[in-house]
Structure 1
Amino acid sequence: MNFLKKLTYLFIAVLILASCSNDDDSGDPVLPLGDYENGILISNEGPFGTGTGTVSFISEDNSTNEGSIFQNVNESELGNIVQSIGFSSDNAYIVVNNSHKVHVVNRYTFELITTIDTGLINPRNFVAVENSGYVTNWGDPFDESDDFVAVIDLTTNTIVETISVDFGPEKLVTDRNNVYVAHQGGFSQNNKITIIDTSNNTVNSTVDVGDVPNSMVLVDNDLWILCGGNPSFATTETKGSLVKLDLNSNNLIQSFDFNTTDHPSSLTIDGSNLLYNLNGSVFSVDANAPSIPTTSILDGFFYTMTANGGKLYTTDAGDFASNGTLKVFDLSTNTEVESYTVGIIPGGIYFN
């Protein structure tokens, strides 16, 4: 019996040691990258001409809704107007239009790394391709001949060259070695997509699309472009359109027209469904069998919107002078499920 007891105790000891060894093999717990990991960032333009823009953060578990996170971390203001945010690796690039600068921060801690404040004139949007960043610039908004894309070396965060482009460059999308620039037209109207070859930072070609291309999404080997059309206050009002560009040939292969007085905006994608905002409603188009729908899926006048993970994230700028709202809709039921107060004129939604 004593021998059996000893054998039993030995067996138990081996099991305990094995368990401890397995615990050790699991390594140290994964530490968070920063207070602003796993959540939503909202770029708030701020009051036009005065004051400062801000960035709001809402945590993934909805437990935190913090405004002005850049100011809170760095004890300084972003400037006027916070136009957009772009990302490269662990860094976020906050584009501040009226202040002609780009703040570079750690995207998870929001600690300031540096500020690029030379070589930018009315910057609008940022996108990264490997070690280079591309920033659209209006130049003088009343001069249609001085618009450009600034190229940033992301290792030094300095502007190394500029690429002259047509007037009113706005949103950018990347595919392989190309950057596609939509020319909305600034304070006027334009109708072009510029294709930049990032291997040599030259303009490869320019494609005419519908008037006022305001948003783009990639679907497989195609680029869908939503064109708002010239607004009613333009010299000639024109209809909006939804067009598809083949990224292999860079040719337009499909185009769908709206009514002349319809001016859609904020193209985004959920699965294979293209979503856009028009006249206070959201419409859905199947990218595999596209046509202009006549029935909306939900209602709301949204300043911008972005789909992610089966939900539609939208912003309401309210009176454009006080705090706005982020509203979240479940796209399986098309019902509102969450609502948050954010900053003044919330113009961009990003997932961190």
Structure 2
Amino acid sequence: MNKNLVNRSFLLGIYLTGSIFLSSCQDDDSGSTVTPLKGAYESGVLVVNEGNFQKGNGEISFINKQSKTVVDDVFLTENNRPLGDVVQSITVNNDKAYVVVNNSNKIEIADANTFKSLGVINNLQLPRYMVVANNKGYVTEWVSFSGNGRVAVIDLATNAVTKTIAVGVLPEKLLALNNKVYVVNSGENTVSVINPTSDAVETTITVDGSPNSLVADANKKLWVLCGGEKNYNSDYTIDENTSTPGSFVRLNPATNTKEATLTFTSKTLSPGDLVANGAGNKLYYQYGGKVYQQDITATALLTTPFINRNFYGIGVDPTDNLIYGGDAGGFAAAGKVVRFNPTGAAVDSFTVSIGPSEFLFK
């Protein structure tokens, strides 16, 4: 056999092998290996857009932070069908996105990176928010607009509801910490503490009226934001004689007791939308149509707003601490997301779908 032919064949084989290797695992300009994306939506910001009540036009938008572009109606684009009526929240676990659709009484499951549908959990009753603990999903359900709500326990391997746990009235956001699940009951003044091993309420903590959101800080303490109990006169104005102001309550999860309470002055205004920065040392919330920033070491509430603007929902990117505000614009047209730097100055904005309210940072 011709020796040169053998050598050329050998070299061609090396070249082809190297080409295949390089095409599957390329280097960037710095010489480091670049891992291919799992999908178009692997890295960026997922925006929850509630949509119009009873119109079935709730959706998820995706913001690419590098290119500063938006892919709107992601689920509809990838699956050729809408998510449903009032998209409430989204949770990502093990590359699966769980989208809670409140008025459609379901959770849509999609690949978190491609947003291709993976299944549906039906027959929930006014579901609100979800967390994952002990390899199970925990979903707050209002059940009705009066009376006690519950938390549905979901087997994430089969997507089946295995149990429901009775909690307080109108359960809202929940948080998993130290192998416990904490649930704020917004229709009363309590936080339910669920043990995810037994899937039972371990204890109930009394806070202040209408708790609506909670976060864990850098010291693993729980901050609960309470809107205050509001009673109304016959003309639908708030009765200040019988109503209570909102408050911040700090809980020690080791003992499930109150450590501190910071009380607002107004009995008519209700603080809400509590979120924290990536380090867990700054808290952000809305109050009186403005956004406030609170240090976790502060012993009094700040009176100067951080951002002098009202939003339908807020979030903080844990990687760069940019603050995101969702402007619903009266639900008459597409909403906007406005970004602010950590000093409170506006950076840029993006057009999204109707009613942007929640943010998930990937």
TM-score, with structure 2 as normaliser? 0.85
What residue number does 1:160 align with? 162
1:298 match: secondary structure = coil
Structure 2 runs not aligned, ≥5 long? 1-13, 27-34, 233-237
Q: CA deviation at 1:237?
A: 2.6
Q: Which range moves more in the overlay, 282-291 or 31-40? A: 282-291
Which residue in the other structure is 1:241 paired with? 247
Match of 1:326 in 2: 337
Q: How many angstroms does 1:321 deviate by?
A: 2.6
Pairing 1:283–2:292 present: yes
Partner of 1:223: 222
Secondary structure of the equivalent of 1:196?
Answer: strand
What's the TM-score, normalizing by structure 1? Answer: 0.88
CA distance in 1, matches of 2:56, 2:110: 21
Q: Quote the Cα distance in structure 2 between the aligned partners of 1:163 and 1:51.
A: 29
Partner of 2:126: 122
Matched, 1:172 2:174: yes
Determine the C-alpha separation between the residues in 2 that align with 1:300 and 1:206.
Answer: 35
- Given that 2:171 and 2:184 are in contact with CA atoms closer than 8 Å, whether structure 1 keeps it comes out as yes
| CA separation of 1:67 and 1:287: change in aligned 2, threshold 3 A | same
Q: How big is each residue's C-alpha offset from its partner over 1:21-55, in whole Å with a ceiling of 9 and x where there is no partner?
A: 9xx79982411010111111111111012232111
CA distance in 2, matches of 1:113, 1:48: 25
Match of 1:80 among 62, 73, 85: 85
Alpha carbons 1:239, 1:258 under 8 Å: kept: yes
**Match in the other structure for 2:325:** 314
State the one-letter code of the partner of 1:149. V
Identity of aligned residues (%): 36
Distance of 1:295 and 1:95 partners within structure 2:
35
* Paired position in structure 1 for 2:25: 28
Show the counterpart of 1:212: 210
Is the partner of 1:334 in helix, strand or coil?
coil
The alpha-carbon deviation at position 240 of structure 1 amounts to: 0.4
Q: Which moved more, 1:286-295 or 1:226-235?
A: 226-235
Report if the CA contact (8 A) 1:134-1:152 is conserved. yes
Residues 131-158 of structure 1 deviation map (CA, whole Å, 9 limit, x = unaligned): 200000011224x04x211000011111
Of 60, 84, 100, the match for 1:95: 100
1:336 counterpart = 2:346: yes
Contact 1:221–1:248 under 8 Å retained in 2: no
CA shift digits 1:296-322 (9 cap, x unpaired): 222111111111222111111111232
